[in-house]
Amino acid sequence: MKKYSIELKWALAFAGMSLVWMALERMVGLHDTHIDKHAVYTNFIAIPAITVYVLALLDKRKNYYGGKMTYMEGFVAGMVVTLIVTIISPLTQLITSSIITPYYFENAIQYAVSNDKSTLAAAEDYFNLKSYIIQGLIGAPIMGLITTAIVAFFTKNSK
């Protein structure tokens, strides 16, 4: 397990960052007053998410590989981070939905229906804890794979 302690540390940092991001979204009104802008601004989480992956792979390169890391070593490290993030994503979604922003689903359903973006049944099927957990379990590995593939290229160092 010590072999993956750096990845575990950064996966937990990623989860913490995600929770802070959700709290910030709620505080600026993206989960209620400005919910109409949520679909656009929520994508900016990519900036801190990529930053966490860069820091994770640089940490792995420096403190595990002694400053030299191949693309494949970085890729594997990033995928371990992704695996852990994916495994804990239901917990982070539960914390988000029950503690940080417990009315988000209701607000999203109401917004979608009142703005003719969805029927009530479709909105209720999409905006709920189970749906978001499933989305996280699918989205986290996909986005993690893409991010890892790119970040590992830029953090490799075989000098």
> How far, CA to CA in Å, does 150 sit from each of 7, 32, 62, 78, 142?
17, 35, 19, 10, 13
pLDDT tens digit sequence for 102-157: 999 999 999 999 999 999 999 999 999 999 999 999 999 999 999 999 999 999 98
pLDDT of 118 reads 95
Predicted TM-score (pTM) of this structure? 0.94
pLDDT tens digit sequence for 34-55: 999 999 999 999 999 999 999 9
